[in-house]
């Protein structure tokens, strides 16, 4: 049972009126000091659409690059216990724990990119966020209800007990759902709705990684207001997570809500560190998520190489089960692969050591180990949003496909599942329009959103059911 720390979050926001294009994170924000004056955040909606395009593009680049090394290295004995290092970039990919051969995406560990004439495919790091955005837009709401979430999942996920387009998978059929998400879907098919779908009495996988890769986008619908973002994401997160798996997912949501107000005159490295400090304040003292954050940050600040930080993270948490992190009873398959905690720690390594460079961040996430496509996709999306479509193309020195095939993994969408990042960005802005006006109490003034930065206590939910 954890009381959410909303007051700290909200009081850490900027106290200055934003310039028309983007706000700044003030000195008070960076140092965690409270501010007393009311604040308005002014954000250009047209620019926001370009940045939402960058979110989907960056997330896709990170997702597909990270998939090359997904579950290749998880620690322990044998070939899967010797972690990759920076020297392995552009070297041969090795098999994942469930495979006898390397990834069919790339024979070498390298960026997986799609040119203008190709199509990005959906995966579980992008498709559930796509479904949530579509549901928010279709239902014309900012807060999805339990029945709306259940209806969206049933409409767009395949039932793995019946034949799917992807063929057999062990004793069932492939439907691109795993662990807690798969169990939540089974419960929905049986008539159970969230949040009961993550109740440990119903779902033994409640402490796995799932919510970390399905809910970050809610932060982008409430720019500059992490308190409201956590309201929007509250039930979607608890569709598949409880306990500290919730805290890890909320950490990501907070970062995405703060990204729109990172100042243009500040380096991405500085902005990310300021944003991460605010998100850290949400993690209760005594939680292993807070301890992992502090541990990784200390490693980074000590000057230790990222590989050393990763090896020490593995030893401290996966081996020693320090700071209350104990999922050893779940077996190595869960502890070393899909557990929320170890993957949250690994994601922090690429966040800090990547220092705002989208290519370097995705590289480190891809090489770091465990469920490597998750942090690669998360930070690819966050940084892609912060630098926008043009910034991504400049970083990689090329143009990319804008086409996205949601039907690679899901079903039930128009145009046989073929969408476009520009259209997905437009829909996202419309969802944000509603959240700004309905949840935040802001307004659309010409081409801008005018957003009050500090909410009243009555606006902040004090949910104790974690």
pLDDT, tens only, 104-114? 999 999 999 99
Entry pTM: 0.91
Average pLDDT, the chain: 89
Give the residues of the chain that fall short of pLDDT 50.
1-38, 456-465
What confidence score (pLDDT) does residue 334 get? 62
What confidence score (pLDDT) does residue 202 get? 98
What confidence score (pLDDT) does residue 455 get? 52
Separation of alpha carbons 292 and 460, rounded Å: 27
Pick the CATH number of 6-459 from 3.30.200.20, 3.40.30.10, 1.10.4080.10, 3.40.50.740: 1.10.4080.10
Q: Under 8 Å CB-to-CB from 222, ≥6 apart: which residues?
A: 228, 229, 232, 257, 432, 435, 436, 439, 440
What confidence score (pLDDT) does residue 300 get? 98
What confidence score (pLDDT) does residue 58 get? 98
């Amino acid at each position: 049972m954890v009381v959410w720390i909303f007051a700290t979050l909200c009081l850490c926001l900027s106290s200055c009126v934003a310039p028309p294009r983007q706000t700044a994170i003030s000195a008070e924000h960076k140092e965690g000091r409270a501010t007393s004056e009311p604040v308005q955040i002014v954000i250009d909606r047209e620019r926001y659409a370009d940045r939402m395009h960058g979110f989907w593009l960056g997330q896709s680049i990170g997702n597909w690059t990270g998939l090359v090394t997904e579950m290749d290295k998880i620690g322990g004995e044998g070939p899967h216990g010797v972690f990759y290092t920076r020297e392995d970039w552009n070297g041969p990919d090795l098999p994942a724990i469930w495979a006898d051969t390397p990834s069919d995406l790339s024979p070498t560990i390298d960026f997986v990119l799609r040119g203008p004439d190709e199509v990005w495919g959906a995966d579980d790091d992008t498709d559930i966020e796509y479904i949530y955005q579509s549901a928010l837009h279709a239902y014309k709401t900012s807060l999805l209800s339990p029945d709306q979430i259940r209806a969206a999942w049933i409409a767009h996920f395949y039932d793995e007990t019946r034949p799917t387009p992807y063929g057999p998978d062990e004793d069932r059929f492939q439907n691109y759902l795993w662990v807690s998400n798969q169990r939540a879907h089974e419960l929905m098919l049986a008539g159970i709705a969230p949040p009961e779908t993550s109740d440990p009495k119903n779902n033994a996988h409640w402490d796995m990684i799932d919510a970390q890769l399905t809910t970050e986008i809610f932060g982008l619908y409430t720019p500059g207001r992490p308190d409201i973002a956590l309201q929007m994401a509250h039930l979607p997160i608890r569709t598949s997570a409880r306990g500290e798996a919730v805290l890890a997912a909320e950490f990501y949501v907070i970062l995405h809500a703060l990204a729109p107000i990172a100042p243009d005159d500040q380096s991405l490295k500085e902005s990310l560190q300021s944003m991460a400090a605010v998100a850290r304040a949400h993690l209760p003292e005594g939680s292993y998520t807070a301890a992992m954050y502090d541990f990784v940050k200390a490693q980074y600040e000590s000057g230790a190489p990222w590989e050393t930080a990763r090896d020490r993270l593995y030893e401290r948490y996966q081996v020693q089960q320090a700071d209350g992190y104990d999922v050893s009873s779940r077996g190595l398959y869960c502890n070393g692969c899909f557990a929320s905690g170890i993957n949250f720690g690994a994601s922090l390594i690429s966040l800090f050591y990547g220092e705002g460079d989208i290519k370097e961040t995705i590289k480190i996430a891809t090489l770091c180990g465990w469920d490597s496509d998750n942090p690669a996709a998360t930070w690819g999306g966050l940084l892609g949003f912060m630098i926008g479509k043009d910034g991504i193309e400049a970083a990689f020195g090329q143009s990319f496909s804008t086409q996205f095939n949601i039907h690679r993994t899901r079903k039930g969408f128009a145009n046989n599942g073929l969408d476009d990042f520009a259209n997905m960005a437009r829909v996202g802005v419309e969802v944000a329009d509603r959240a700004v006006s309905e949840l935040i109490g802001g307004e659309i003034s010409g081409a801008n959103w005018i957003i009050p930065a500090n909410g009243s206590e009555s606006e902040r939910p004090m949910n104790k059911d974690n």
